[in-house]
Structure formats: C-alpha cells, structure tokens
Amino acid sequence: MFANLSDRLTASFKQLRGKGRLSEADIDATVSEIRRALLEADVALPVVRAFAANVRERAKSAEVSAALNPGQQVIKIVNAELVEILGGEARDLRFAKNPPTVIMLAGLQGAGKTTLAGKLGRWLRDQGHTPLLVAADLQRPNAVTQLQVVGERAGVPVWAPEPGNGVGDPVGVARSGIQHAHDKQYSVVVVDTAGRLGVDAEMMQQAADIRDAVSPDEILFVLDAMIGQDAVTTANAFAEGVGFSGVVLTKLDGDARGGAALSVRGVTGKPVMFASTGEKLTDFERFHADRMASRILDMGDILTLIEQAERTFDAAQAEEMAAKISGEGDFTLQDFLGQLQQLKKMGSMKKMLGMLPGMGQMREQLENFDEREVDRVEAIVHSMTPAERVDPRILNGSRRQRIARGSGTTVTEVNSLMERFDQAKTMMRQMARSGGKGGVPGMGMMPGGGKKSKGRMAPPPKKGKKGKSGNPAKRAQQEREAAQRAAQQPAAPAGSAFGLGAPKQQEDAMPDLEELQKYLR
C-alpha cells in the first residue's frame, strides 16, 4: 500500500547523501519533496502541514548542523516524525479486572468488521484467552451466518440467538451475549455491530445503544485503509457519535495510496492498535508505528519477521537445521522440504521478502515472484523416493524422467531445482562459516522471481561452466574436482561469539542486494 510513498520519500533523500553540510536550500527542497509525497499519498492536509513544519524546524536545528552525517540525521528526523503521526508507542488492549472484557467493533459496512471479529478472536485465543463472538449485526443480509462461518474457521464460539436479515433486537443480543459469557466464563467478548454504506443518525444511535447496554472496555473503530480522504470524515463522525478508544486498519494489502493510515491518528488522536494485512485469518498483527515507519522508509521490518518465524518454527528443529547447514551432517532435500513447508506457514513469501531492508529497490522483482512455483518445487521433491531425497547423487537420467512425470513438470525443471539446491546449500555453508557474508540464505532455491518467469521455473544462471551431469560416474568426477577447488580456497575468517567479526565483517554480513537480485531472477 505504501509503495509509491516509500519510493518518493527514498528519492527525496538522495540529494542529501554524501554532503558534509546541509544548506537551508537543501533542507527546503527535501521538505518540499516530502510534503508533495504525502499529499500524493492522500494524507490529510492538516497532518501534512504539521509534519512538514516539524521536519523543517528540527532539520535546521543544532542536532543536524553538528552531526557528522547531516543527511542521515535528516532521515532519522523524518523517521521519528513518521512514528509520531502513526501513533508513537504501541498500546495494548485494556482488559477488565473482572472478566469478561468487552470489545465492541464499529465502522461502516464493507470495512471488514465481521471478518476482523474472527481474526481478533483467533488472535486472542492464541494469546491464551477464551473469546466469544457476539453476532449483533442483524441488519446486513447473512451477516450472522458469515460470523458463524468465520468463528468456526477461527476455532472461536459464536453467540447468535437471532437469525438476522433485518429480524431481531441487536441491543438485546449484545446484552444476552455478555450474560452468556458470564455464565460460561469466557474471558473476552467481541461484539460485531451493524454498519451502513454511509454515516447516518440511525446507525449512530444503534451503535450508541449497544455501547450503553454492554459498557465495553474497548471500542475499536474498523477503518478501511483504501477509502482515502473520506476516512478522516468517517473517523470524526464516529468519534462524535459513538466514541472509540482505538483504530483497526483493514485491507493494508491493497494498492491504494494509504493516506488514511497516516491521517486517522493525527486527526482523531486515537492510536492504531491492529492491522489486517490480507484475507486469511492469520493475516492480522499488532500495529507498531516504528515498524511501519521503517517499512515506509525502506528500512525493513526485521522484528516482525522474527516474531513470525518464532511463532512458526520449532526451536529444536531450527537448531538442528542450523547445525546441518554449518556442516554437522548433511542438509538433504527432505530437510529442504520441511523448511519450505515451515516458510509457507509464515504466510506470503512476497511479504516476508518485502520486510528485508532495501527491498524497495527490488520491488519489480518481488512483484514478478510467482509463489505457485513453490508448489511445483514441493511436487518435485514429493515425487522422489526417500533414498533420492537423502542422496540426490543417485538421480540419473531415468530417475529424473520419472520424477518429472510424477510431478507434472519437465526434466529441465527437475535439473534446475537440483542445480539451485546445490548452489544454495554451498552458499548457506559459506555464510555459516563467515558469519553471514554472501547474501540471503536459501534464495538460490527460490524459483519464479525473474522477469522471464511466466509460470515455470527459470533455468539457473549460466556462467560458462556446465551443470552437474546425470551420469553417476561423471558426476562423481565433477564433485571431486569441486572439492579440490574448495580446499584450495582460503578459510573464511572466524566470527565473534555472536557470529560476526570486526565491524567491517558486520557490514559485509548484511544481505547483498545484487546477489539477491541475481538469485531472484
């Protein structure tokens, strides 16, 4: 969503790089570019004015003029101001001292409240709570049925005594849902309320009546991040008519300009607490202003990536894989298949790669990344026998033909996978020995990232030497020659206790974008 804004802001900083001193003209030109970028992103005008004024004032102060690198200092100021307008410090949900905690959802129809109720219920369940969803949206056709389906998929019970479709009293349903939660000892109640296509008196009155009946601990305003400037008007109307304590942004995976996300907190003063980033129930996360600001400025979001990995990967299994990659044992295709399946559990690979620093420079390659290729890779590995996965050296021509037929691919694609697997295994072991130098691990096995990939795996890049032969004898000879060349290379420098050596080595340990781009192609 913030791709255009990120590109414009990054471009505005280019003229600051390498300058030992910034003139007022440099600062004014940069602030003007930032102001224009925010306006084009559909950020509310009052927010843009305040943001530009704060950046200009701080950029002309002593903190920049006395800095060793004034250009980087300006970027730091812009990052700090972005964090501020996005909400500053993240706030947790307020839980009641005496359960159940009541959370009421409000917003326009089409903002995604019902789906969000299921996502929030699942997130609360994963946090150790026992949530209950209450179907108080009796106006929209099939809203009750939709919540029941979403609740079943999320593994969260739903209280729905009325069929909906214009029948029933939503205030009575909300009140009875709270009583049911008391009786069954649910710790959190999420009340889904009705929305309208626009702000009207009837809608506001109904939401206010439900609020008065259940006395919610949190009222979350569900806002469609794609509606642009109208988000400010809608947010103000709900703040005056019902009131809310926090904002949830939905459809952050859309291609709109995203100004609503940057405007709502500056206009209403209420924090953005959660974000919905996709259609799956797992595409839901806490909103961290500092991390979102880092994404916008193309600095990446490593913390969120680590949190997703920690939720998905088993610690013991990860340690075992790390040992194999470093050379203690053989990293086989069976291990690779397990790692690939773990990565798929984390969600979209495009999103994960987009969280790496500097990936904004490779947006076109990421957009061309075909995630269906991962399924083809799985099919190829699944078509192998256990012995072939453990020892790919036995894959002769006839075996590769059988694997291609079984997986619905071609022999060329099987050969391409084996070539990439060998390249990636070598690269990962080099990284393990040198403390991370050499690129992003595993990217050599990532298919479908290049411009020329139109639904099939692109062949591995050729550099004038032949790939490994399908003939066992010839292949063994090639491997002996490769081992001799590796033995003649100087050993990689030892790292520190944290896997990195001197500061220069730490700098080299950052992902090599050119190398990454090569493998994505």
Separation of alpha carbons 267 and 44, rounded Å: 8
Q: Are 367 and 453 in contact (CB under 8 A)?
A: no
Name the helix (H) or strand (E) containing 454.
none
DSSP β-bridge partners for residue 105: 192, 220
Q: Are 226 and 263 in contact (CB under 8 A)?
A: no
93 belongs to an annotated ligand binding site: no
335 belongs to an annotated ligand binding site: no
Q: Which residue has the tokens 């259940």?
A: 214
CB count, 10 Å around CB of 202?
Answer: 10
297 belongs to an annotated ligand binding site: no
Separation of alpha carbons 306 and 312, rounded Å: 10
109 belongs to an annotated ligand binding site: yes
Cα dihedral sign for 192, 194, 195, 199?
negative
Query: Of 5, 2, 7, which Cα lies nearest the Cα of 362?
Result: 7
108 belongs to an annotated ligand binding site: yes
253 belongs to an annotated ligand binding site: yes
| Cα angle: 56, vertex 61, 63; to 5 degrees | 115
Separation of alpha carbons 304 and 411, rounded Å: 39
280 belongs to an annotated ligand binding site: no
Q: Using DSSP, how many helices (H) and how many strands (E) does the chain show?
A: 24, 8
Query: Of 118, 167, 125, 124, which Cα lies nearest the Cα of 142?
Result: 167
Strands (E), 268-312: 272-276, 284-286
Strands (E), 144-207: 158-159, 188-192
Cα dihedral sign for 236, 240, 244, 245?
positive
251 belongs to an annotated ligand binding site: yes
Q: Are 249 and 274 in contact (CB under 8 A)?
A: yes
192 belongs to an annotated ligand binding site: yes
110 belongs to an annotated ligand binding site: yes
112 belongs to an annotated ligand binding site: yes
Name the helix (H) or strand (E) containing 219.
strand 218-224
Helix (H, G, I), strand (E, B) or coil at 507: helix
488 belongs to an annotated ligand binding site: no
Helix (H, G, I), strand (E, B) or coil at 284: strand
332 belongs to an annotated ligand binding site: no
Strands (E), 44-152: 101-106, 131-135
DSSP secondary-structure letter at 159? E
138 belongs to an annotated ligand binding site: no
250 belongs to an annotated ligand binding site: yes
Separation of alpha carbons 160 and 21, rounded Å: 65
Binding-site residue set for GTP: 107-114, 192-196, 250-253
Binding-site residue set: 107-114, 192-196, 250-253
